[in-house]
Amino acid sequence: MSKRVALVVFPGFQMLDLAALTVFEIANLMQQPAPYALEVVSHSGGMVMSSSGVRIETQAFSTRSYDTVLLAGATEITASEPQLIVCLQRAAQRARRIASICTGAFILAEAGLLGGYRVTTHWAHAHELKRRHPEILIDDDKIFVHDRALWTSAGMTACIDLALALVDDDLGPELAKAVARKLVIYHRRTGGQSQFATMSELEPGSDRIRDALNFAKENLREPLTVEQLANHVHWSPRHFSRAFQLQTGHSPAKAIEKLRLEAARALLEDGHVAISNIAMQTGFGDEERMRRAFLRTLGKPPQALLREARLRQQPLAAQAA
């Protein structure tokens, strides 16, 4: 039986959040019978205008059960509709999971559905969410956060990362990766990844340098020498090094270290992976080399980040017990 997924919208919602449904649509094409039944709903149905001025047709928020209720966000924080709050409270009692995109977290908080949970939202609005709802545990530098039956994401394109994570949770990582490839998203971002991603920071100017970085990110376990990267894009090592430095402002070695740090930090935030395993998975090779890189860049060792992650998880585990 298909899992019923409802994308909940409201006047002024961000049109880009509709892209989350495309992830489920592609999953339906790749597995039969189709695993998802998709709906776009609002509290009373009918036409709903997005922040861009484009209207879309919606169904009325049903009293029937949904497997997943996914609440859209808005470009700016908007006043909540009282009827929508009631619908969300009612749906939360029956749905297997609730999720929000971007400023949708503000609406879930108003509905009283975020208290005691670890959540995220768009980095530009995280401080305001904390000010209005100090009872919420906000992790404002994550692409998405999963805490029990609640999923929340950052803004804009993070809706795609969130939807891919939901598909992964339902159907496994291989199918989620296949969906990402179909969407021409070559690298699925993990929940622990910073909203300020290394790939965006480096901003290479050519497709070849970008391809080399993508190759490096997919093969962090490998030594990833200049020769290896240059060969991948069919350039000489000398020309590659010069072009890379010019376009990114970093040497290839420094850029790869940044990618490794980002990947290692995401795994540390999970709180369950041994540091020695993380060092191997991310290409540092040994704990000492990884420790020196963390101290040099972040000013603290991996052990400190792992302790912080586990401390954050303790109150959540106690509530779930």
59-71 tens-digit pLDDT:
999 878 899 999 9
Cα 55 from Cα 46, distance rounded (Å): 10
Q: Tell me where in the chain the CATH 1.10.10.60 domain(s) lie.
A: 198-321
| Amino acid symbol at 268 | L
pLDDT digits (tens, 9 = 90+) for 72-100: 999 988 888 999 999 999 999 999 999 99
46, exposed or middle or buried, with CB in 10 Å at 0-12, 13-18, 19+?
A: exposed
Ranking 146-160, 183-197, 250-264 by mean pLDDT, the lowest is 183-197
Q: Judge whether 102 and 158 are in contact, CB under 8 Å.
A: yes
Name the residue type at position 233: V
pTM value?
A: 0.65
pLDDT of residue 40 exceeding 90? yes
Instruction: Please classify residue 283 by burial: count the beta carbons closer than 10 Å to its beta carbon, then call 0-12 exposed, 13-18 middle and 19+ buried.
Output: buried
Question: Greater confidence, 274 or 17?
Answer: 17
pLDDT at 202: 74
Predicted confidence at residue 201, as pLDDT, reads 67
Q: Helix (H, G, I), strand (E, B), or coil: what is residue 245?
A: helix
Q: What is the pLDDT of residue 42?
A: 96
Sheet with 36-42, side-by-side order of all strands:
46-49, 55-60, 36-42, 3-8, 68-71, 97-101, 150-153, 144-147
φ/ψ (deg, to 5) at 124: -70, -15
Angstrom distance (rounded) from CA 138 to CA 78: 19
The answer to whether 9 and 41 are in contact (CB under 8 A) is: yes
In this predicted structure, the answer to whether residue 37 has a pLDDT above a threshold of 90 is yes
8-state DSSP, 198: H
Mean pLDDT for 234-243 is: 95
Does the domain formed by 198-321 have CATH 1.10.645.10? Answer: no
- As separate numbers, helices (DSSP H) first and strands (DSSP E) second, the chain gives 14, 10
What does the pLDDT look like over 286-312, one tens digit per residue?
A: 999 999 999 887 778 999 888 877 776
pLDDT band at 215 (very low <50, low <70, confident <90, very high): very high
Average confidence score pLDDT of the chain? 89
Mean pLDDT of 240-269: 90
| CATH topology assigned to domain 3-182 | Rossmann fold (3.40.50)
All CATH 3.40.50.880 domain ranges in the chain, comma separated: 3-182
